[in-house]
Amino acid sequence: MAQIIKRKLFYGFGALGLIAFIFALTMGLSSGKLSGSTKDVKLGAADPPISQLPPAVEQLSNAFITVAHAVTPAVVQVQVTSTPKAVNVPNGQDSPDNMFKFFFGPDFPFHNFNMPSPHPSPEKALGSGVIVSPDGYIITNNHVVQGVDKDGIKVTLLDNRTFDAKLIGRDPTTDVAVI
């Protein structure tokens, strides 16, 4: 019992110390004592460092712009919906390692808090892909589509048209997937 009380005191004082440190740091930064005066800061240069680009650099820049304009319509947004597997979360009041019980004791009113549901809800994520064939095959990353639900992939083109997609194949080793 004495060990438990010592551990509670240790963690409690550690948490208070960390909160005090963060508070002191933010107060010091906001008052200007730690960050220095902002009156002396001048951003930007009076003159640009290079007034004229060498011809090779300008040609490379123009080539990059031309390629970007040509391939931009092939870049798509990939939105996936997945439902994670159910997690076995013990009931907040019966769990021996419950954080609230540990710090506030067994009589703490748990019902006043929204405890996480043990039943996961669908998750949505965004990624990107590139159309690689005229019939609509898209290459994207495996981590974008990993764990996706059936009928859980939607693709949005540059002109905001949206299509349903399906997973054709994926390779976790190279992090590549085809939809």
Residue 35 reports pLDDT greater than 60: no
Confidence of residue 96 (pLDDT cuts 50, 70, 90): very low
The pLDDT of residue 179 is 94
Q: How far from chain centre, in Å, is Cα 8?
A: 33
Task: Return mean pLDDT, the chain.
Answer: 76
Instruction: Identify which has the larger pLDDT, 8 or 158.
Output: 158
Q: 41-71: buried (b, 16+ CB within 10 Å) or exposed (e) per residue?
A: eeeeeeeeeeeeeeeeeeeeeeeeeeeeeee
Query: What is the average pLDDT across 100-112?
Result: 64
Distance CA 168, CA 177 (A): 8
Q: 141-151: buried (b, 16+ CB within 10 Å) or exposed (e) per residue?
A: bbebbeebeee
Residue 143 reports pLDDT greater than 50: yes
Instruction: Identify which has the larger pLDDT, 126 or 21.
Output: 126
Query: What is the average pLDDT across 119-133?
Result: 86
Residue 97 reports pLDDT greater than 90: no
Confidence of residue 150 (pLDDT cuts 50, 70, 90): confident
Residue 108 reports pLDDT greater than 90: no
Contact 149, 122 (CB under 8 A): yes
